Structure 1
Amino acid sequence: MGYGIALDVGTSGYRTHLVDLSKNGKIISTAITMRHPLPGANIMDHLHFWMENGSEVGHSILMNTVSRLIELHGAPLKEIERIAVCGNPAQVSMFENIEIRDLAYAGQSLLKRLGVKIPERRGHVTTAGDLGLTSVRSEVEVVIPPAIRHEIGADALAMIMKSGLLDKKETCMVTDYGTNAEMGLFHDGELYSGSAAAGPAMEGQAIDHGMLAAPFAISDLEIGEDGRWKNIVLDAKLHPVVGSLTDAANGASKRMADITARGITGTGVVAAVAVGLESGLISLPGIRTPDRMLHFQDGITFSEADLGEAGKAMGAIRAGHRTLIEEVGISDADVKTMYLAGASGTYVDPIKAQTVGMVPRIVDTTVQVGNTSLMMAYDLVRDDSALDEMQKVADSIASKHIMFATSKVFEDMYVNEIAFWDEGMPEEMYNEVLKGAGLSPLPPIVRPKETKRLVLSDIPVIGERGLSILDNVGVYLTGGFEGCIGCQVCERECPERALKVLEGGPHGYTIKIATEHCLGTACKNCESVCPQKVYRFGDLRVSQRA
């Protein structure tokens, strides 16, 4: 056989392995994107863009991106034999270009009024030709994994299977710490799941110097013996090393290793907040330094605006965890083991995560399991029996999905979290508000007795050819509008600098937007600021990639 592609379609970006199928599934290389190719910062943005601009536009962007990643590996395209995918229900459904409105809207009555037929979402094999993936031969097999039910997808199933959660007798919790934080609570043989739209801060996005987990990103911070902060940076193989010692109040640094940081990951953000709180440099809702910033190596900073974004994410995750606990009717002390998955779950310090509310306040053991979605895609691409086994496990799990969007418990919890992070609500008042709503107060923090890390990096094996990063997916939304005068107001007002106004086209000027940098339908600032009122974001179409 030839080669296979294992593909993790994440909410914040895509990650792939090139696998040699003739050598027992040897990983040859790894290629990733730095952001999700669709406009938007989270799963709801992606769904809204898909529905507003049309599935044809959205799917074209995704297929172009997958093609670029496959080409980046450098293998002969005619020798690609199989592609296997894993991700959450929305991302896999968009990849496959099937119905997604059942994931965007809550309530059976609304779905019935809209005439939405919910897809079965069982595991199956299709072809590249059926998907419209033209960079490889049309007959290439594409393995689509099953969901447990339509809201609990293959990524959650991968997380459950790879963590060994189902083999545990005691109550356990598992979370994939990402933009769309999928979480599950396993209690008395039943899985209770939920998904909190934590936002992009957990992936290092919507943060001034933020970036995904990639080489030369600050992934952790610690206070050294002299009070300066250790800046822990990922090297070229995604292994953490101490880069510099830095005075977080002013940025004065002492270089410890020959490594230059490019930005800070979501786990670095968690560390910044946790260490900031413990050192007193953060006193919610502000930062207590002369310029109201924390300073790290190589000019990387963390502002009060960044703190606000981080607080929204951390608050959503804690609200999600506590909603599961309340809905199941157990206490915090009943949760014995916490599994941390995904890139953020791999690199984050579980003690710091507990400090900021991302790990339950009482837990015996934490286990960091890595990027289980990419691991599962790898299993599916190299092993013909893996799909059947995955479907068997999916069919065997008794589950209940708790829609946080319609949960009064989650609403009460998250309102409290916003007050805590944005207004500096004291914990005593926080607990009083919870009691008033009939909910359990936060217990005192009890540190884990044991912390286990099963992998050193979220992608344990990158292959002999190493890691390639697709910094620019090269996919654009373009269009022109009758009445456009080329004033460039839309270009100047784009918060992400994703838009350019170019001369030419049937109407005299053409709009060109880099999709992975655009905030999508949640923003549409370009449309709202158009002085001629002729700009229509929904009319833009995908152009040929550069």
Structure 2
Amino acid sequence: MEKCKIIFQPEGKRGEFPPGTTILDAAREIGVDIEAICGGKLTCGKCQVVIEQGEENLSQMTEDERRLLDKRKAGKNYRLACVTRFYGDVVVFVPEESRGGEQIILKEGVEVSVTIDPAVKKYYLELPKPHLKDDLGDFERILNALREDYGIENVDIDYEVLKKLPDVLRESDWKVTVTIWNDREIIDVEPGYKAENVYGLAVDIGTTTVVGYLTDLRTGKILAIDSMMNPQVPYGEDVMSRITYAMQNPEGLEVLNKKIVEGINQILVNVCKEAGIKPEEVSEVTIVGNTAMHHIFLKIDPQYLAVAPYVPAIHRSHDVKARDIGIKIAKGGNVHVLPIEAGWVGADNVAVLIATEPYKRDEMCLVIDIGTNGEIVLGNRERLLSCSAAAGPALEGAHIKHGMRAATGAIERIRIDPETFEPEYKTIGNAPPRGICGSGIIDAAAELYRVGIVKKNGRFNLDLDTPRVRVVDGQPEYVIAWANETAIGHDIVITQKDIREIQLAKGAMCAGAHILMKEMGVESVDRVIVAGAFGNYIDKISALIIGLVPDVPVDRIESVGNAAGVGARLALISREKRREANEIARKVEHIKLAVHPDFEREFSMAMYFPHMDKKRYPRHEEVLKVRGAE
């Protein structure tokens, strides 16, 4: 009997099953956690999934299923996983609310000292009431008070604010708080004294996740944080697939833009609820993201980013009215989008730079932001070089047989005994294992290589006396957890194909770093700064063992967490940081790896653990001993 293929997004897990298998049974079989409180009795309606492809290969919807979907206001292409059977190939997206395991997303990062000087400020005014001998216009009356009380001149007023101005002034007995953006425009007028309530939202739009930070603009304090999977994930795991979707579908750009705007508005609602304020009290939003996310957010056609010479629509920072782009803050509120460096190095990398400030250091720093699309910057106060390395989703769990996001039950740490080849592992939440997340994948590769199960070239050593190493369907694999230990009822393994995916990802990052070092004329770096939520969880020694980062002393590897989010917050509370962002974005020299004459050679050498050239990693034996002594 020919089996049917099913793919679950956003994790990218896949499997083949007999025709007539329910989506829920398939999910359980391969470790995709879908909420099903009622156990498939058609009473809870929690197991909603979205059918992305293959709707014609599904069983017919029953009245009971339709009733539950209507009750939960499900949209087009929604089905209940517990009763929907597939008879051909399908692609299924599991929405956030249907996932049983809550994803762990790092929301804090490096802290930077900065003088607070936001673009948005509030001023309290008590205006003289008009009368027959003083019939000055309402707006001009405000201008006079601003000049006399605060020395502020030459400001304009937002049209929407102007429309409500007469009513607000008279209803408040001419005592109001005005919000001024960038010393040049009144973007809100509120009755009474509200000068202490100044709020902004910093948003980091990642390819996989979106994080928002509600911030007090007077103090810089974070009031609330919220995050979610990027709602564009169903349309492509990576940047190129989303650009392709926008190009190949007439409404593609509109769809992608709408999804991210809706997601940001949901984050806005969530953080405001937690802080006890209303979304319309938020005056400004700062946005960072890679160049494709930047263009899609601004509803700019991203297709030209995908073809040489990879030119973006705009390099410098850009301000746009929130209402024009659909962000539901104050009507006159502003959205500030940070500048980008190049076609494949975006505003998120600029945000990382203003957070880590390598341009203010004397030491040679390598800044690596590890994600689906990895960005690398090398330099100091004298010179900065950057490049983009297509690490792909492997390091985040996709394309790995038992890879998963960082959620409860994910194996996040692995150690292997060099004599018995038996593993020890730790899972998130200390729950029975369901799969392996990014940090566990790096650990697995490092440990398999360290103890000799995987050779320098990435191939399995099949001459070892251990049941953990075996060949299944012609492919070598290592068993990390036996079926009876897991939450999915199956062995959790690392396969030869998985190792290959890891080699490709780490090879791209390593090659990018070494090309930048060659262009800079240096053979080593003084410090490696690892940014990104994923980078924060990586074991430094494991990263050195496989050659994910250049050879440096362990204490010179610094994890700074979600530095892009920190940079977005800095731009929210500091106009000086905005100035720095525009200056640095133009100062960085971008190196295009795809056309660099040394890339193919560097990439092929970097595919080895830790590298084909031993001279590149002179401390490697020392690092292996440190791990062995742990």
**Is the TM value for this pair above 0.5?**
yes
Change (3 A) 1:380 1:415: same
The whole-number CA distance in structure 2 between the counterparts of 1:262 and 1:3 is 40
1:62 is matched with 260
Change (3 A) 1:187 1:382: closer
- Once the two structures are TM-superposed, the CA of residue 275 in structure 1 deviates from its matched residue by 0.7
**Do structure 1's residue 28 and structure 2's residue 224 form an aligned pair?**
yes
Match of 1:360 among 541, 547, 550: 550
1:498 is matched with none
- Once the two structures are TM-superposed, the CA of residue 270 in structure 1 deviates from its matched residue by 0.7
- Structure 1 contact 192–402 (Cα < 8 Å) conserved: yes
1:436 is matched with none
Give 1:115-264 correspondences, 5 Å limit: 118-133=312-327, 135-136=328-329, 138-149=331-342, 151-186=344-379, 189-214=382-407, 216-223=409-416, 228-235=422-429, 243=430, 259-264=431-436
What is the DSSP-based 3-state SS (H/G/I as helix, E as strand, rest coil) of the residue aligned with 2:598? helix
The whole-number CA distance in structure 2 between the counterparts of 1:180 and 1:128 is 28
User: Which amino acid counterpart does residue 374 of structure 2 have in structure 1?
Assistant: A
- Once the two structures are TM-superposed, the CA of residue 77 in structure 1 deviates from its matched residue by 3.4
Gap runs ≥5 in structure 2: 1-196, 463-468, 472-476, 624-630
What is the DSSP-based 3-state SS (H/G/I as helix, E as strand, rest coil) of the residue aligned with 1:211? coil
Give 1:96-111 correspondences, 5 Å limit: 96-107=298-309
2:470 is matched with 290
**Do structure 1's residue 15 and structure 2's residue 206 form an aligned pair?**
no
The whole-number CA distance in structure 2 between the counterparts of 1:224 and 1:23 is 50
The whole-number CA distance in structure 2 between the counterparts of 1:166 and 1:339 is 13
- Structure 2 contact 205–230 (Cα < 8 Å) conserved: no
Which TM-score applies when normalising by structure 1? 0.65
1:315-345 deviation digits (Å, cap 9, x = unpaired): 11112112222333332xx322111111222
- Once the two structures are TM-superposed, the CA of residue 409 in structure 1 deviates from its matched residue by 0.9
2:142 is matched with none
The whole-number CA distance in structure 2 between the counterparts of 1:24 and 1:172 is 27
Which TM-score applies when normalising by structure 2? 0.57
User: Which amino acid counterpart does residue 370 of structure 2 have in structure 1?
Assistant: Y
- Once the two structures are TM-superposed, the CA of residue 182 in structure 1 deviates from its matched residue by 0.2
- Once the two structures are TM-superposed, the CA of residue 26 in structure 1 deviates from its matched residue by 2.6
1:82 is matched with 284
The whole-number CA distance in structure 1 between the counterparts of 2:621 and 2:283 is 45
Tell me whether 15-24 or 63-72 shows the greater mean CA deviation.
15-24
2:453 is matched with 281
The whole-number CA distance in structure 2 between the counterparts of 1:27 and 1:281 is 48
- Structure 1 contact 38–58 (Cα < 8 Å) conserved: no
Change (3 A) 1:137 1:212: farther
Change (3 A) 1:172 1:77: closer
- Structure 2 contact 211–225 (Cα < 8 Å) conserved: no
**Do structure 1's residue 405 and structure 2's residue 594 form an aligned pair?**
yes
1:300-324 deviation digits (Å, cap 9, x = unpaired): 4333332222221111111211222
2:616 is matched with 443
User: Which amino acid counterpart does residue 286 of structure 1 have in structure 2?
Assistant: F
- Once the two structures are TM-superposed, the CA of residue 85 in structure 1 deviates from its matched residue by 1.3
- Structure 1 contact 220–348 (Cα < 8 Å) conserved: no
1:478-533 deviation digits (Å, cap 9, x = unpaired): xxxxxxxxxxxxxxxxxxxxxxxxxxxxxxxxxxxxxxxxxxxxxxxxxxxxxxxx
- Structure 1 contact 16–32 (Cα < 8 Å) conserved: no
1:47 is matched with 243
- Once the two structures are TM-superposed, the CA of residue 150 in structure 1 deviates from its matched residue by 5.3
What is the DSSP-based 3-state SS (H/G/I as helix, E as strand, rest coil) of the residue aligned with 1:146? coil
The whole-number CA distance in structure 2 between the counterparts of 1:34 and 1:276 is 33
Tell me whether 76-85 or 15-24 shows the greater mean CA deviation.
15-24
What is the DSSP-based 3-state SS (H/G/I as helix, E as strand, rest coil) of the residue aligned with 2:332? coil
What is the DSSP-based 3-state SS (H/G/I as helix, E as strand, rest coil) of the residue aligned with 2:411? strand
The whole-number CA distance in structure 1 between the counterparts of 2:407 and 2:294 is 23
- Structure 1 contact 127–141 (Cα < 8 Å) conserved: yes
Change (3 A) 1:270 1:328: same
- Structure 1 contact 201–309 (Cα < 8 Å) conserved: yes
Change (3 A) 1:34 1:150: closer
Mark the structure with the bigger radius of gyration: 2
What is the DSSP-based 3-state SS (H/G/I as helix, E as strand, rest coil) of the residue aligned with 2:450? helix
- Once the two structures are TM-superposed, the CA of residue 155 in structure 1 deviates from its matched residue by 1.9
- Structure 1 contact 42–197 (Cα < 8 Å) conserved: no
1:438 is matched with none
- Once the two structures are TM-superposed, the CA of residue 407 in structure 1 deviates from its matched residue by 1.5
What is the DSSP-based 3-state SS (H/G/I as helix, E as strand, rest coil) of the residue aligned with 1:27? strand
User: Which amino acid counterpart does residue 459 of structure 2 have in structure 1?
Assistant: P
User: Which amino acid counterpart does residue 336 of structure 1 have in structure 2?
Assistant: D
- Structure 2 contact 253–301 (Cα < 8 Å) conserved: no
The whole-number CA distance in structure 2 between the counterparts of 1:261 and 1:317 is 29
What is the DSSP-based 3-state SS (H/G/I as helix, E as strand, rest coil) of the residue aligned with 2:616? coil
- Indicate the RMSD between aligned Cα atoms, in angstroms: 3.2
The whole-number CA distance in structure 2 between the counterparts of 1:158 and 1:77 is 24
The whole-number CA distance in structure 2 between the counterparts of 1:77 and 1:187 is 40
- Structure 2 contact 226–267 (Cα < 8 Å) conserved: no
- Once the two structures are TM-superposed, the CA of residue 383 in structure 1 deviates from its matched residue by 4.4
The whole-number CA distance in structure 1 between the counterparts of 2:622 and 2:449 is 23
- Structure 1 contact 43–197 (Cα < 8 Å) conserved: no
Give 1:472-487 correspondences, 5 Å limit: none
- Structure 1 contact 182–194 (Cα < 8 Å) conserved: yes
- Once the two structures are TM-superposed, the CA of residue 198 in structure 1 deviates from its matched residue by 0.8
User: Which amino acid counterpart does residue 92 of structure 1 have in structure 2?
Assistant: H
Tell me whether 306-315 or 362-371 shows the greater mean CA deviation.
362-371
Tell me whether 274-283 or 289-298 shows the greater mean CA deviation.
289-298
Identity of counterpart residues, as a percentage? 27
**Do structure 1's residue 6 and structure 2's residue 209 form an aligned pair?**
no
The whole-number CA distance in structure 1 between the counterparts of 2:496 and 2:270 is 38
Match of 1:311 among 490, 503, 506: 503
